[in-house]
């Protein structure tokens, strides 16, 4: 499993398309094996789902994401989790793997 999270200022970004980087975690046996921080290509509609799919991502955790982006990820076979808190990506990944990640409303309204 590979989990990607958009980050801004070192924490999970609440606005998916406006992130500085993606923290990508390799997961084995329900544990983080490695983390890689990647700078995404310039934002254009529909690009990030394809780019993350090429990176082998299977789950995206975000604070907020527009409906169209969610549909594109789902079409690519990538699970989307929205409403995650603005915490360090490491803390979010650990909560997700433990089954204790608390999500709220999708921070994006488009």
**pLDDT 10s digits, 47-82:** 899 999 999 999 999 998 988 889 999 999 999 999
Domain topology for 2-98? Nucleotidyltransferase; domain 5 (3.30.420)
CA torsion 38-58-89-18 (nearest 10°) is 60
pLDDT > 80? residue 18:
no
Task: Identify the residue whose tokens are 């970004």.
Answer: 13
Inter-residue contact 19 to 40 (CB < 8 Å): yes
Structure-token pair, residue 91? 């803390």
CB atoms within 10 A of CB 107: 19
Q: What CA–CA distance (Å, rounded) separates 73 from 62?
A: 12
Q: How confident is the model at residue 109, as a pLDDT? A: 61
Q: How confident is the model at residue 107, as a pLDDT? A: 64
Q: How confident is the model at residue 19, as a pLDDT? A: 84
Inter-residue contact 84 to 61 (CB < 8 Å): yes
* Alpha helices, H only, 1-110: 47-54, 67-75, 89-98
pTM: 0.92
């Amino acid at each position: 499993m590979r989990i990607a999270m958009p980050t801004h200022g070192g924490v999970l970004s609440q606005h998916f398309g406006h992130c500085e980087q993606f923290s990508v975690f390799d997961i084995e046996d329900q544990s983080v094996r490695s983390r890689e921080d990647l700078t995404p290509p310039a934002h254009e509609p529909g690009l990030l789902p394809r780019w993350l799919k090429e990176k082998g991502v299977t789950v995206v955790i975000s604070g907020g994401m527009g409906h169209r982006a969610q549909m594109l990820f789902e079409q690519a076979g990538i699970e989307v989790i929205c409403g995650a808190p603005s915490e360090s990506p490491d803390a979010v990944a650990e909560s997700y793997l433990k089954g204790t990640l608390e999500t709220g409303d999708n921070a994006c309204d488009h």
